[in-house]
Structure 1
């Protein structure tokens, strides 16, 4: 068995252990700072010990497993991703990047090779902001950049604060609040994250790997409301209605028109109303609805596009409010900044793919990834997508192991062919 085959089999066994132990039908659930993520970190930590890697954990619970290089004083490489998932999600989102890093180390061990620079597999906490309304929580904390107020954010399911969850796991939230950094950008030669593609582009193109050019930023409103007035469905004439559902529907249609305009100009964005609901306490078959709750997630690789869409959102809301006698409350705005990834590093990965006989195409990422945090710190950063057959954030999420092996092979070719 080749070193690559042995490394792939090693990773496949870990994927299966994760699946079995974090299944939450109909998918898997690894809540940030919860039982599933804890199991995943513990199992990866044990795998690091099997591979005789140096181990460290920072104040926020990020895990670092390091294969010492022959010249450890040089700035090192970091390979990694996150281990948390969305509720009832799939087994590969995030985990593929961590296990790809372990597979690279496994293959190097099998071949008796040591890289010149330290090679660290980073297991990042809490990337999925579905749990806490904070983008890139774990990776930002690693650089000492998580705001103190983020520790008071409450987890969506438990209602406990991030601080409370950290304390329950024996971590050090006060050090996080003080901005204590574990990572120093000057000591990082580069960061590479492997991740399943979360859309259909690679599968439809028949290509196993993607080299990502940039990562979209976002603005989000998680607790929006359209407020009108309740009334009898048969007794209130149209002219006197303050129908919250119709007001909200007009907002959706108006943003769709804005999106159309962007696309005509060749500009990219995504607009998603992921949750929409009338109030179950007050709504009824024979009532004009007086309230609609919603959340809004807008993403683009362009900061200018995000600001344009935000301005148009507010203008649409004001106009609809005046015309239909409703009002909009959007609540707190959260989001992230777009990231352009290092073109030189991406070029070297493309050359390594050519040497290894692997097909890879360049493409953007509409979803957020911890790679953006490293790029924002000035670290040369790259993101490799692996083909996925059924999208992401759902129980049908898929990844062929031969495609995973292609990503590991690419990393090995890159490390072998790159000068110090």
Structure 2
């Protein structure tokens, strides 16, 4: 175990190549089932071939790179993450988990440590729901649990369906629709995903790593509208207005008050209006706006908390409609279920980090991750967060290579825990 060393130079080389080949100033763009994601998969396949790993791809295009274990009858480990990004995003979100898996396996091989169980580095598809309006389509498809109608969802930039994008890459959307499963829970000993922290907590407390206790679920309205009546800004008195923007502003303020009350009770949640816009073809300086489009993203690690917010949202909207003569059309609702991660596996990671004198903090994840799909399938699942200085989903994403190496070392030592030296 003392011979295990993470090759930080390997990681730096991979991150730099990925950044250079998927650059889209001011950041990087790796669209789900698009060119950037394909480049990432190709880089990982090449490096896995150098390490002598077995390679497989499932019907949805998830990539599996496996180091055989001593006992093929045992359920194996899966480690990894996604490699797609948001448009003009940062280079580390997702990719850090993939490269950590490769670096951990490389450390085992270099140290002459042969794992008792197989270790698979998995690269999932389409984790970032900015491309297709659905959570975790790649990892859900791996378990045969992606609803067939999901294949008809259209990518935000191309307008082409998920089915079309899969077929264009030579994948098998018909098998995905039929529920073909590549992964079965009983053949997985555990799943661990390393990921950059997407907020400021670890940097603030001075810890390089976080061990995630749970992953937030969500409900989302991506195409919501508030509908009022357009009027002349100078001619319609206040009492006669049906101002859609003012009505939406009241809804925003009302939900902020809901959030205040939840925090006072110790409930963790986030409420975000990420897009708000009047129609540029119709709005004008001298018009009372009759329509405003918006989206709403609500997250919490507690299903009960999500239900409370949703109920209050419905009540608030009704009150505002009655008072202001407007109508809220929230459109289709999407979302995901909160996931509680495996306490035993999290405890093992903590013990490994303690033994290596690596500081860590137990914390929840407010963002969604493929790990939630594994947990929902009954697989023991855990996450390692790596400190990040500038948040996530932006070009300024940051991560110190020594922090990355610490996370990859914890991962490698977990995998080596029941292994033997081969030489």
TM-score (norm 2): 0.98
Whether contact under 8 Å (1:211, 1:346) holds in the other structure is: yes
1:274 corresponds in structure 2 to 274
SS at match of 1:81: strand
2:84 corresponds in structure 1 to 84
Whether contact under 8 Å (1:4, 1:405) holds in the other structure is: no
Whether contact under 8 Å (2:33, 2:126) holds in the other structure is: yes
Cα distance, 1:261 vs. partner?
1.2
Whether contact under 8 Å (2:113, 2:416) holds in the other structure is: no
Q: Distance in 1 between matches of 2:92 and 2:246?
A: 39
**CA deviation digits over 1:139-181, x for unaligned, max 9?**
0000000000000000000000000000100000000000000
Q: Distance in 1 between matches of 2:156 and 2:174?
A: 22
Q: Distance in 2 between matches of 1:311 and 1:166?
A: 37
2:180 corresponds in structure 1 to 180
1:320 corresponds in structure 2 to 320
Are residues 1:145 and 2:145 paired? yes
CA RMSD of aligned residues (A): 1.2
Q: Distance in 2 between matches of 1:292 and 1:351?
A: 52
1:207 corresponds in structure 2 to 207
Are residues 1:283 and 2:280 paired? no
> Residues 14-413 of structure 1 correspond to what in structure 2 (within 5 A)?
14-413=14-413
Cα distance, 1:260 vs. partner?
1.1
Whether contact under 8 Å (1:355, 1:413) holds in the other structure is: no
SS at match of 2:113: coil
Q: Distance in 2 between matches of 1:361 and 1:239?
A: 54
SS at match of 1:55: strand
SS at match of 2:363: strand
Q: Distance in 2 between matches of 1:414 and 1:372?
A: 20
**CA deviation digits over 1:1-57, x for unaligned, max 9?**
x97656221121111010000000010000000000000001101111011100000
SS at match of 1:85: coil
Q: Distance in 2 between matches of 1:415 and 1:55?
A: 19
Q: Distance in 1 between matches of 2:169 and 2:36?
A: 13
**CA deviation digits over 1:106-152, x for unaligned, max 9?**
11111121100000000000000000011011000000000000000
Whether contact under 8 Å (1:283, 1:289) holds in the other structure is: yes
1:414 corresponds in structure 2 to 414
> Structure 1 residues 78, 199: closer, same or farther in 2, change over 3 A?
same
TM-score (norm 1): 0.98
Q: Distance in 1 between matches of 2:344 and 2:251?
A: 42
Whether contact under 8 Å (1:221, 1:295) holds in the other structure is: yes
Q: Distance in 2 between matches of 1:129 and 1:6?
A: 32
Cα distance, 1:364 vs. partner?
0.3
Q: Distance in 1 between matches of 2:359 and 2:164?
A: 46
- 5+ residue gaps, structure 2, are none
Cα distance, 1:412 vs. partner?
2.1
SS at match of 2:323: helix
Q: Distance in 2 between matches of 1:341 and 1:376?
A: 9
Judge which range, 50-59 or 104-113, deviates more: 104-113
Corresponding pairs, count = 419
Whether contact under 8 Å (1:356, 1:413) holds in the other structure is: no
SS at match of 1:134: coil
